[in-house]
Amino acid sequence: MEGSLGSGRRSGSDGQPAPPKISPATEELQSRLQETLDLLSSQELRSFRDHLKKVEPRVSQVKLELEGRSPSGLAGLLAKLYYPPAAAKRVLVQVLELLPRADLLPRWQSAPADCPVIPRKIPKRSYDCVDGELDHYDLSGRRKAFLMCVKKNRPGAHQDVVLMKDWLNECKFEQTLCIDPDKMDLLGKITSFRDGLNEIKDDIGCCLVTLMSHGEEGFIKMRDGEKVSLEDIFEMFNNKNCPALQEKPKIFIIQACRGERRDSGVETDDEPMDLDDGSEKKRLPTFSDYFIIYPTQADHVALRDPRTGSVMIKEMTEVFKQYGNKWHIADFFTIVNNRVVHRDFNLYNKPIKISLVMESTLTRFVYF
């Protein structure tokens, strides 16, 4: 089944855990760093972050966006990563030389000659890949989306539909809606949607399927309680059954419970929420180029607020408003998950926590 949820209280006044205390030496380094960063224009600050990623792969794009958007936040991040000060001086000189901001260099060029050089870590993230090592999908073709939502007995579901339609419009998807279907309605409409993709094969760039309803592990439920297997739906779009999508991204956003287990967090006393349980041809694997996002772990409930809609749907649209389409989809949902994980909720006066789950067989990056 799928349940609905209410908004909960964050662990801090701004929804984030209280920051750890830092040492006086680190605090002094952070202050010096901020003095320099405050002298950069907005454009120079953006360039600083871009050059920083090239100079030091240990600085992840996600951390830069979450912690380094402002001069103070970036100074704090650098102070944590590059203490002692000699290491920070080395990094600052390298980045400032690339801007260029020669007027700021004297502040940091006084580093001692025996300043230790911190070895770089092996790049592990998508944005650290060598040029040409991994490409992005060509989404210049038509982007087609199938949006199914069961509103019956799911307060807040209407808001989910509104948010998803707006998000799909922003990402330039043509939409096919399927609202409150029974099992035969859904199977008929999604089959027709899939067949339509095969008919315009050369014009397709990407397919996105969103399914929002009650559910349980491996199934999603219709308005009358009938169950449809998620594996059956995924299979409809594989390389055998949907050749139009061979080597093209197939994105699935599932907003439904995957069971009845609940993950408790710290004590809170917020209002209760409801839950979502309810030439020579090459060969390809049968299943490839998939990206599936679930709102919760296997066998666990998902959360939906009767007033504002599902937690995952609301957060993904908020992140998109803030960052737009600059993120590869896996990194995008990593930021969404960061926000979800650090929120505390109550379900019937009992604490509950959730974490999104991503499954991927993508072979390239996806940028909407």
- Beta strands across the sheet bearing 250-255: 174-179, 142-149, 204-212, 250-255, 290-294, 357-360
Same domain, 196 and 76: no
Question: Angle at CA 98, nearest 5°, toward 97 and 103?
Answer: 40
Longest dimension (CA), the chain: 74
Q: Which of 115, 319, 59, 325 is nearest to 48 (CA)?
A: 59
Using one digit for the tens of pLDDT, what is the confidence trace for 43-89?
Answer: 788 888 888 777 766 667 777 777 777 888 888 888 877 766 777 77
Q: From the candidates 178, 257, 300, 328, give the one annotated as an active-site residue.
A: 257
Using one digit for the tens of pLDDT, what is the confidence trace for 19-33?
Answer: 455 667 777 888 888
Among the ranges given (136-140, 209-213, 232-236, 272-276), the one the predictor scored with the smallest mean pLDDT: 272-276
Find the mean pLDDT for residues 294-301.
90
Tally: H helices and E strands in the chain: 10, 14
Alpha-helical (H) ranges within 156-255 are: 157-170, 183-199, 230-236
Range of the domain at 102: 24-116
Same domain, 91 and 146: no
Q: Given 116, 133, 159, which residue is the final one in a domain? A: 116
Same domain, 98 and 172: no
Q: Given 52, 81, 116, which residue is the final one in a domain? A: 116
Pairing, β 309-310 against β 302-305: antiparallel
Q: Which of 298, 271, 159, 157 is nearest to 214 (CA)?
A: 157
Same domain, 185 and 256: yes
According to DSSP, residue 245 is labeled G
Using a pLDDT cut of 90, give the percent of the chain over it: 40
Cα separation, 130 vs 39, in Å, equals 32
Beta carbons within 8 Å of 251's beta carbon, 6+ residues apart: 206, 207, 208, 209, 291, 292, 293, 329, 366
User: Can 214 be counted among the known catalytic residues?
Assistant: yes
CB distance 197 to 209 below 8 Å: no
The total domain count for the chain is 2
Same domain, 260 and 303: yes
Q: In this model, does residue 124 exceed pLDDT 50?
A: no
24-33, 100-109, 207-216: which has the highest mean pLDDT?
A: 207-216
Same domain, 111 and 156: no
15 belongs to a structural domain: no
110 belongs to a structural domain: yes
Q: From the candidates 214, 242, 300, 328, give the one annotated as an active-site residue.
A: 214
Find the mean pLDDT for residues 100-115.
62
Q: Which of 6, 5, 10, 1 is nearest to 338 (CA)?
A: 10
54 belongs to a structural domain: yes
Q: In this model, does residue 12 exceed pLDDT 50?
A: no
Cα separation, 293 vs 278, in Å, equals 18
Q: Is the pTM of this model over 0.75?
A: no
